[in-house]
Structure 1
Amino acid sequence: MSDSAQNVKRRNGSKHDKTGCLTCRYRRKKCISNTFPVCGACKRLNLECVREPTLRILPRSRTSLGQDEAHHEQTSLSLARPSDPSLNSLSLHGSGMAECSKRRYAMKFYIDVLAKLLAVSQQYNSFLSDFLPMAVESPALADALVAWSSGHLSVYNSAYHITALEARATSLRALAKSLTSEDIASRETSAAASLVLLTSEVCLGDHTKWYNHLTGVQQIIECSRSPVSMYGRVLCGPEALKQSPEGRWVLRNFAYHDILGSVTLRKPPLIPGNYLEEITDVVDTYIGVGSEILIFISEVSCHHTSSLAHGYLSSDEENPDTTNSWSAIEQKIKNWRCPPGTLQALESLAYAYRCAALIHLYRQTLRSLKLVHDDTHWEKHENPTFALYSKIEVEVSTTLQYVANIPLNDVPESALLFPLFLVGAEATYSSHMDTIRIRLSLMAKKRNFQNIQRALGVLEEIWERRAQGFGNNQVDWQDIVGQQSDDLLLT
């Protein structure tokens, strides 16, 4: 060895290079006082202290598996990561597998991994308990599930891209054939197949085709007719689908995409959410116990733009208790409570959505006020927007407290995109922005859903504009999304 090589001085590694919390490592800062559960730096800056999950070296015994089944189900989600051995073997041998073997693996991947990535509860997972039995009698739904799963697998192995395209084409042909049937069971499976194709488009980053599937589901629902009941009545539309558990799941699934989509599309939902009123007393796969909150969000989105401003300016003057008044909507949202006995993580998720519904109301009202600033009502109020901005600031902090109650990588985390985005769009403190950025980044890394990355990209642009002096509250995320050619769906 030469003298020059022997004289090379290497920097001694710091224990903080490979240890410390993820928050400090993401910020490229030294993790001061690396204590548990919150490090000194995060405590000082009031940041969420995110830690890596512990790794198990030795396999669990049968006894511990039986006692900790929930943990076992959760760890199976790690299959979705490219570093997992099953996906490594997939990348090595996928191109040589027969097409039928790829379809089988795709369906297995759907059952073991993909269906769990979107559910907030493994005990109440309609992707498995409802969609799989329906797929047995519906070729359109079965191929839609294969297309969705293969599309997700194609991110890791391009050989599955062809499988996804073929399954999608087969599903669309079968769907077109099934639409000719007026049987209510066929309507349910046709709507389910369209919803799966919609979800597939969203997860893979398409920003336009998903809405075509959504309008298709709307038409299927509105054209549904039930057989003549014992009372001699024929039920139509959503009422026809409410007669079976599968139909009710299809309605909640549609409402989740339709109502949350209305927020980012800046238009009323295709079907107002009142049809949910009798089917929210369950733990929904997408949103847990908070399905009723979708009705409130729908009500806000259905209001005419100027009516929110007039309702807000007159809320303390005339008819404050009117059912459709601005203050009545606000109180309905604020007074909503989780059912007794709800698990803490699902409770925190539901209340995060409640806060998001309030933020949606306040932001929509601010947009409405810009259109009626010359109205006589405006002259009676000094700076009517100040109170709304104060309300938004309170809900931002409250939402992040609820989000902090949901452990990292816990199952209910799958539904956090919508509340995190609305909160992030209103965040003005750097500590809040860092918390949201880290949480969304980790969610995107785990799930590899492109709509999460796009939502984070929109937030980064909002935060950059605020940093450049455009005003803390003057930057409206809808203006940024409206300037872009692609739509955004936060499901």
Structure 2
Amino acid sequence: MKYYVNVMTQLLTVSYQHNSFLSEFVPMAVDSPALSGALVSWASGHLSTVDNRYKITALEARSTALSRLAEAISRGSDNISVQETNAATCLVLLISEVCLGNHAGWYDHLIGAKNIISSAKFLANTGDEMLLGPNALKGSVEGRWILRNFAYHDILGSVTLGTKPLLRADYLHDITGVIDTYLGIGSGILILIAEISYLDPKSKSDTYTLPQNKKMSSKCSEIEQRLKAWQCHSDATSALVALGYAYRSAALIYLYRRMRSFIRLGSEYSSPTHRNELLGVLASKISLETTATLNHIAEIPSTEIVESALLFPLFLAGGEATKTMEINLIRQRLYLMLEKRHFQNISRALAILEEVWDRRMARLTLESDDADWQEILAGQGCQLLLT
């Protein structure tokens, strides 16, 4: 547990003063064998990546953590504190799997956390309305942190999985006005990223009608304007402001990628000339937001604690980068993050981007289709989480 407190709690937070890995998870773990076991499992697993002598210890700790979680869930409880702790345990085990490079196992824990949150119940006083699902967790600081923690993984996971989030993000609307451990002042951006993931372009085998195309285009434009209108708190530190705007630009890249897919599938754009014009406009927008993302990231020193949250914007920008200088900057920042944290999802993200860049260079000589990280992930059959 000492390694967790001294090392792990510092590797994912963007704020020393607002570090819920310390202020919430540690007190919760005191009365929970399941959560304390998960924290020890995460810490020992990470320690084993830098010292092979801890491999067996890490495996034993993981087995113990899973056993304790199963026991805690099997007992069942209507106590909201127990439900919060069980959800927290799932999320810690999720983070551990991601850090250790288990590119599929983390999603099982995300589903587990979702099921616990969805089934939560809380009755504050006799005669009051029963609070259900995410609303049941909003009555405590710990519960609100768990909801933001879940949303961070659920929503960013939907981007790379190409799926909708497991839960609608409505529950975030009244709990993002704080400095969040993961995203600082930028957690409100998650709501808009979730809306982008809920956009539903049909598959290539489906046929669009004209009204469907117009409705989708209108929704995309609405989200675009809301993202562009989003502003950081004026009293935030410069690093947190830069982080918030980096996520905003990355969200716009994600939106334009979805719009690009929509245009390629839509029957409304049957004219090749019209379709190419629209794709050209999106290409320009993506290029501008890629540059903007990297400019915001450049305002965050590599030694700044805020850089712990840069994997998502770096990857989204890297997937669209074409300039050598941009690619080198992204590569360098990811190397530094990996060297500091030894998280295997960072290594995996960099490997995917390297393949994108190699294919993109080959395209210049072979005149083949442009490389895309989604196609590479699908071809390899692995799941990447950018948290």
TM-score range, shorter chain: over 0.9
Q: 1:486: how far off?
A: 1.5
Query: For residues 148 and 114 of structure 2, what CA distance do their matches in structure 1 show?
Result: 12
Q: Amino acid of the residue matched to residue 355 of structure 1?
A: S
Alignment check: 8 A CA contact 1:333 1:358 kept: yes
Residue 243 of structure 2 corresponds to which residue in structure 1? Answer: 349
Q: Classify the secondary structure of the residue corresponding to 1:490.
A: coil
Residue 48 of structure 2 corresponds to which residue in structure 1? Answer: 154
- Residue 259 (structure 2) pairs with residue 396 (structure 1): no
Matches within 5 A, 1:403-422: 403-422=297-316
Q: 1:161: how far off?
A: 2.0
Q: Amino acid of the residue matched to residue 261 of structure 1?
A: G
Q: For residues 110 and 369 of structure 1, do their structure 2 counterparts lie closer, same or farther at Cα, with a shift above 3 Å needed?
A: same
Matches within 5 A, 1:225-374: 225-229=121-125, 232-306=128-202, 314=214, 325-373=219-267
Residue 94 of structure 1 corresponds to which residue in structure 2? Answer: none
Q: 1:306: how far off?
A: 4.2
Q: Amino acid of the residue matched to residue 49 of structure 2?
A: V
Q: 1:330: how far off?
A: 0.4
Q: For residues 207 and 354 of structure 1, do their structure 2 counterparts lie closer, same or farther at Cα, with a shift above 3 Å needed?
A: same
Q: Amino acid of the residue matched to residue 482 of structure 1?
A: A
Alignment check: 8 A CA contact 2:210 2:268 kept: no
* Structure holding more helix per residue: 2
Q: Deviations over 1:87-143 (max 9, x none)?
A: xxxxxxxxxxxxxxxxxxxx1111111110110111100000000000011110001
- Residue 77 (structure 2) pairs with residue 181 (structure 1): yes
Alignment check: 8 A CA contact 2:103 2:382 kept: yes
Q: 1:362: how far off?
A: 0.2
Q: Amino acid of the residue matched to residue 160 of structure 1?
A: Y
Q: For residues 489 and 167 of structure 1, do their structure 2 counterparts lie closer, same or farther at Cα, with a shift above 3 Å needed?
A: same
Question: Percent same amino acid at aligned positions?
Answer: 50
Gaps of 5+ in 1: 1-106
Q: 1:231: how far off?
A: 5.5
Query: For residues 236 and 407 of structure 1, what CA distance do their matches in structure 2 show?
Result: 42
Residue 110 of structure 2 corresponds to which residue in structure 1? Answer: 214
Query: For residues 203 and 366 of structure 1, what CA distance do their matches in structure 2 show?
Result: 32
Gaps of 5+ in 2: none
Structure with higher Rg: it is: 1
Q: Classify the secondary structure of the residue corresponding to 2:36.
A: helix
- Residue 169 (structure 2) pairs with residue 169 (structure 1): no
Query: For residues 237 and 248 of structure 1, what CA distance do their matches in structure 2 show?
Result: 12
Q: Deviations over 1:384-423 (max 9, x none)?
A: 1111000000001111110000011210000000000000
Residue 433 of structure 1 corresponds to which residue in structure 2? Answer: 327
Q: 1:158: how far off?
A: 2.5
Q: Amino acid of the residue matched to residue 447 of structure 1?
A: R
- Residue 356 (structure 2) pairs with residue 462 (structure 1): yes
Query: For residues 283 and 174 of structure 1, what CA distance do their matches in structure 2 show?
Result: 32
Query: For residues 385 and 3 of structure 2, what CA distance do their matches in structure 1 show?
Result: 24
Residue 116 of structure 1 corresponds to which residue in structure 2? Answer: 10
Matches within 5 A, 1:67-106: none
Residue 144 of structure 1 corresponds to which residue in structure 2? Answer: 38
Across the aligned residues of Structure 1 and Structure 2, the Cα RMSD in angstroms comes to: 2.3
